[in-house]
Amino acid sequence: MSLQAGLIFFFVLGQCSGDSVSQFPHIQKTTEGHNVTLNCTYNTSYAGVVYLQWYQQYPTTGPRYLLQTFSSDSGKHVKEGQFSTELRDSEAVYYCGVRHSKESCGSHGLISCDLNELR
């Protein structure tokens, strides 16, 4: 079975000024049962704690939270995260999201997301 990871689109639920999230490379190929590493890069002007979150969504379900890491390095604006997974029998979409603390950008915890489709 062929496996591809392709960047589908970028959507924003809310963000601080100048924030961006992207997953690269846009296309990855492998065969079923092999690991795939998804990379996420984000650029933020926020100097506080930033949370990098990963979600997985199968075709018949809603997104499922997988894991979260955080960075408090206020001197570095471009940050990277990596996630490895193995696709077994079905297609999945993996979302990379970045969230700031509620105080950073308004009254809500805001998130910028990007996604890869694996098939």
pTM, rounded to two decimals = 0.64
Give domain status of residue 112, yes or no: no
Using one digit for the tens of pLDDT, what is the confidence trace for 62-100?
A: 888 888 887 766 545 556 666 666 666 566 777 888 777
Q: Is residue 108 part of a domain?
A: no
- Could you give the CA distance from residue 23 to residue 71 in angstroms, rounded to a whole number? 18
Mean pLDDT of the chain: 65
In this prediction, residues 5-27 reach a mean pLDDT of 53
The residue to which tokens 């570095």 are assigned: 76
Q: Answer yes or no: is 114 within a domain.
A: no
For 79, the domain range is 2-103
Nearest to 52 by CA among 36, 39, 61: 39
Mean pLDDT of 2-26: 51
Whether the CB-CB separation of 41 and 79 falls below 8 Å is answered with: yes
Please report the DSSP string for the chain in residue order. -EEEEEEEEEEES---TT-EEEESSSEEEEETTSEEEEEEEEE----S-EEEEEEEE-TTS--EEEEEEEE--TT-SEEEEEEEEE--SS-EEEEEEEEE-HHHHSSS--EEEEEEEE-
Q: 84 or 11: whose pLDDT is higher?
A: 84
Q: What's the CATH number where 66 sits?
A: 2.60.40.10
| pLDDT score recorded for residue 92 | 73
Say yes or no to pLDDT of 61 above 80.
Answer: yes
Flag whether pLDDT at 2 surpasses 70.
no
Domain count, the chain: 1
Question: Nearest CA to 13 among 80, 105, 117?
Answer: 105
Asked whether residue 109 is assigned to any structural domain, the reply reads: no
